[in-house]
Amino acid sequence: MSVTTHSPFLALPRELRDEILGYLILPQYVYTSTSAKDIQNLYKSRQRAIDTYLDTRIYLPSRPPANILATCRQLREECLERRLDPTISVALSTPENRPLSNILAERLGTEFAEEAERACDDDAPRITLEIQRQLRGAHGYYIPTRDEVSPRFLALLPIMERNKKLRLTLWPGYDWWNGGPPVFTDKRGNVRVNPGEAAKPNAASVAISRMLQHFPHVEELSVDVLMQASDGGRWDLPDKKWENIQSWLDAPIMPNMERTMKKVTRKLTAFWLASEPESFYVQQEIQQSGNTWKVDRKGDMGTPTMISFFDTAIDGDMEFLRSLVLISFWGSSAGYIIASLLSNPPIFRIALTPCSGDRQVCGLTMGHPGEDAFLIASTASLALAVPTATIQKRADYCGQWDSTVTGDYTVYNNLWGQADATSGSQCTGVDGLSGRSLKWHTSWSWTGGPGHVKSYANVVTKITQKAVSSIKSLPSVWKWTYAGDDLVANVSYDLFTSSKVDGSPEYEIMIWVGALGGAGPISATGSPIATVNLAGNTWKLYNGKNGQMNVFSFVAEKQVNNFNGDLMTFVKEITSKHGLPTSQILTSVGAGTEPFSGNKAKLTVTEYSLSQS
């Protein structure tokens, strides 16, 4: 094609040229970071060491033709712009639909990984990174250096760098899954980096940061952390496989998030079969404003999945599992929403009967299509119900880090100090929500470990994290009763502040509305530093250090079973007289009980509410 201005193609209108370029876009392709085919097993061979790079594989769902890119600058720019057009449909890879590159150059030792990666692909370019993953060399296994991007990556970068969506697929080794920097568990059950310990940067964070330097326009980032199930079973990891990498999940995906990034999704996924991913932890981070991010998490590794009870080698078992994957909602009739589990023919039908007035589901009818119903169940709190401002009682939960979200409230069981007890247990439950008024309870028995807090069952309210100088009020109502034998515990609000929205707590303000059995606050001297009258009650103020945190504790002289006041009056007492900077950001407000010891104890909260203005 001529590059002169007399080229007939360049003389066409831009819209027509774009249409033609759309037909020239080539299908998906997977590139490796090596220039030659891998004819040896990458992970088990004792042959000579190979070059290793930050990127292992690069998947492009579509690619512009090289001859067009080489024609002239104008066509190259137009072709690259056209390739980013979201209206262009491309054939996506699937575990069974292998790109031509995989057929032409099968890579020994990577077959499972490549098929697993295809099972997670969408319409975004994907770059595979290996994090602290071992190779086998002439003298045994070693972790190679993967600091620089490959020449192949640099050659493809002009095609990829304008993308607004990107998928990074990580294959970490045991050292990464087993944990990063030393951590400690704070009183609210959060796992945090110990500031007194020097630690290396997380290898995944370093690799992701280096990779994203080449993609300044990315707005939506997906990070898939993959694990072969056989590795997970062989490695000595906690039941909650993310427990040792919690510090990485808590930290920003890269140090500087004040760029174009708007959404980050992190998934931890295991594979029994390469074509069937099972995500056991999902975390979505959405930018709200400035450097403020909303983080939603869901982890369920402790719950056995249905596939755990089936033999994946038996075709009949797998066929049954596939028939249960999707639910199809196919219309409504006379107030019923009908659904059927996809199979051929459908296994059964579900009819949801809405209540009149409150938009909850009152009945669930199940039966074979065309036959009479065989099961009717009352489902006033069915999970499929439309959310309302009224929530009924839920079953108690007893796991160490179990929690439930109810409106703007999250109620935690939080057995953060149970290791200090010789025996004991605790269960927590939500009794209902009406408007902003929450009812909940916790029951526990703890023995041993005198002087040590065993848990902190508490409710945390969703707030806007901002400087305390910008908060006008935090009105709260808290009505509670406590019963049990030989109780040593407190009932308290717990406020945390930091100089950064995502930083570690620097100040803690506790408001003890109850001190049972001689429980006492953190104090440097054991004596109060002041006595104040706030929210209609008299309080003794104590001060002391807990690790890096400066802790202020207001302890009521008399038990306050019916608290009604503004928590900001307590915060202002500290900012005006005791050195808390007003620039500190309020990051969390909780309210609950810290048990030291006792038997058959039960805290019952008949009314709790908190709001922010």
Sequence-distant (≥ 6) Cβ neighbours of residue 508 within 8 angstroms: 494, 495, 496, 497, 546, 549, 550, 551, 552
**What single-letter amino acid sits at 308?**
S
Contacts of residue 183, defined as CB under 8 A and 6 or more positions apart, other chains included, come to 191, 192, 193, 194, 246, 247
CB atoms < 10 A from the CB of 590, how many? 22
Angle at 573 between CA 570 and CA 577, to 5 degrees: 160
**Which one is catalytic: 78, 114, 130, 508?**
508
Kindly name the residue from 117, 130, 285, 594 that is annotated as catalytic. 594
Give the residue from 504, 437, 472 showing the smallest Cα distance to 571: 472
Contact yes or no for 299/240 (Cβ under 8 A): yes
> How many CB atoms lie under 10 A from the CB of residue 541?
21
The SS3 of residue 558 is: coil
Q: Do 484 and 601 form a contact (C-beta atoms < 8 A)?
A: yes
Rounded distance, CA 169 to CA 167, Å?
A: 6
Specify whether 594 is catalytic: yes
114 an active-site residue? no
DSSP 354-368: EPSSS--EEEEEEE-
Distance of CA 305 to the CA centre of its chain: 19
| Phi, psi for 208 (deg, rounded to 5) | -65, -40
Structure tokens at 476: 């709260």
For residue 390, count other CB atoms closer than 10 A to its CB.
13
Residues 6+ apart with CB under 8 A from 582: 467, 468, 469, 575
| DSSP assignment letter at 387 | P
Which residue numbers are catalytic?
508, 594
